[in-house]
Chains A and B, each alone.
Chain A
Amino acid sequence: MKASPYLVLALVLAVCFALATGIEPRASMWSDRAKSNNVFSLLFGDGRRLFANQFFTMADVYFHSGYYPSVFDLREEDQKEIVAESHGHTDSPEDEIKEDFLGKPKDWIDRFGRHFRITEHTHLEHGNEREILPWLRLAADMDPQKIETYTVGSYFMRTRLNQPREAETFLREGLRNNPNSYEILLELGRLYDENDHDTGRARGVWQLALHKWAKNPEAVKDDKLAFEEITDHLAQLEREAGNWQQAINWFQAAQKVSPNPNALQQRIDEIKKKMAAQPNAPAAAPH
Chain B
Amino acid sequence: MNTIWALAGVVIKELYRRKDFYVLFVLTALITIAAGMVNFFNDPKIVRYVKDICMLLIWVSTLLIAIVTTARQIPAECESRTIFPLLAKPVTRWQFILGKFLGCWLATGIALVVFYSFFAIITGSREQQWPWLTYLQAIWLQWAMLAVVIALSLCGSIFAAAPSSTTTICFIAVAGILLVGGHLNTVALHQSQPLQTIFYTIYFLIPHLEWFDIRDRVVYDWGRLNWLDCALATFYAAAYTGLFLLLTWLGFRRKSLNT
Residues of A within 8 A of B (CB): 62, 65-66, 70, 72-73, 106-107, 109-110, 112-113, 115-118, 127, 130-131, 133-135, 137, 157, 161, 163, 166, 170
| A109-B185 contact in complex given A116-B212, A134-B38, C-beta closer than 8 Å | yes
Cross-interface CB contact of B213 among A65, A109, A116, A130, cutoff 8 Å: A116
Cross-interface CB contact of B216 among A113, A117, A137, cutoff 8 Å: A117
9 closest Cβ pairs, A-B complex = A72-B183, A66-B216, A65-B220, A166-B41, A115-B229, A131-B48, A134-B49, A66-B220, A134-B40
Residue B186 lies at the interface, judged by CB distance under 8 Å to chain A: yes
CA distance in complex: A163, B220 (Å): 23
Stretch touching chain A among B203-211, B238-246, B250-258: B203-211
Chain B residue with the shortest CB-CB distance to A105? B185
> In the complex the two chains form, is A137's CB within 8 Å of B185's CB?
no
- Give every chain B residue within 8 A of A134 (Cβ-Cβ): 38, 40, 46, 49
Q: Which one of A115, A118, A157 has the highest number of Cβ atoms from chain B below 10 Å of its Cβ?
A: A115
- Give every chain B residue within 8 A of A117 (Cβ-Cβ): 216
CA distance in complex: A116, B223 (Å): 11
- Give every chain A residue within 8 A of B40 (Cβ-Cβ): 133-134, 137
- Give every chain B residue within 8 A of A163 (Cβ-Cβ): 41-43
Chain B residue with the shortest CB-CB distance to A137? B40
Cross-interface CB contact of B203 among A109, A131, A133, A170, cutoff 8 Å: A109
- Give every chain A residue within 8 A of B232 (Cβ-Cβ): 112
> In the complex the two chains form, is A113's CB within 8 Å of B208's CB?
yes
Residue B74 lies at the interface, judged by CB distance under 8 Å to chain A: no
Residue B18 lies at the interface, judged by CB distance under 8 Å to chain A: no
> In the complex the two chains form, is B182's CB within 8 Å of A113's CB?
yes
Cross-interface CB contact of B217 among A110, A118, A135, A170, cutoff 8 Å: A118
> In the complex the two chains form, is A113's CB within 8 Å of B186's CB?
no
B18 to chain A, nearest CB (A): 32
- Give every chain A residue within 8 A of B204 (Cβ-Cβ): 109
> In the complex the two chains form, is A131's CB within 8 Å of B49's CB?
yes
Chain B residue with the shortest CB-CB distance to A65? B220
> In the complex the two chains form, is A113's CB within 8 Å of B210's CB?
yes
Residues of B within 8 A of A (CB): 38, 40-43, 45-49, 141, 180, 182-183, 185-187, 189, 203-204, 208, 210-214, 216-217, 219-222, 225-226, 229, 232-233
- Give every chain B residue within 8 A of A65 (Cβ-Cβ): 220-222
- Give every chain A residue within 8 A of B226 (Cβ-Cβ): 115
- Give every chain B residue within 8 A of A130 (Cβ-Cβ): 43, 45-46
> In the complex the two chains form, is A112's CB within 8 Å of B211's CB?
yes
| A137-B222 contact in complex given A113-B210, A130-B46, A131-B48, C-beta closer than 8 Å | no
> In the complex the two chains form, is A133's CB within 8 Å of B213's CB?
no
> In the complex the two chains form, is B220's CB within 8 Å of A170's CB?
no
- Give every chain A residue within 8 A of B222 (Cβ-Cβ): 65-66, 118
A234 to chain B, nearest CB (A): 29
Chain A residue with the shortest CB-CB distance to B203? A109
| A72-B211 contact in complex given A112-B232, A130-B43, A133-B46, C-beta closer than 8 Å | no
- Give every chain A residue within 8 A of B49 (Cβ-Cβ): 62, 131, 134-135
- Give every chain B residue within 8 A of A115 (Cβ-Cβ): 225-226, 229
- Give every chain A residue within 8 A of B45 (Cβ-Cβ): 127, 130
A-B contact pairs, 26 of them (CB 8 A): A65-B221, A65-B222, A66-B216, A66-B217, A66-B222, A72-B180, A72-B187, A107-B185, A109-B182, A109-B208, A113-B208, A113-B211, A115-B229, A116-B214, A116-B233, A117-B216, A118-B220, A118-B222, A130-B43, A133-B43, A134-B38, A135-B49, A161-B43, A163-B42, A166-B41, A166-B42
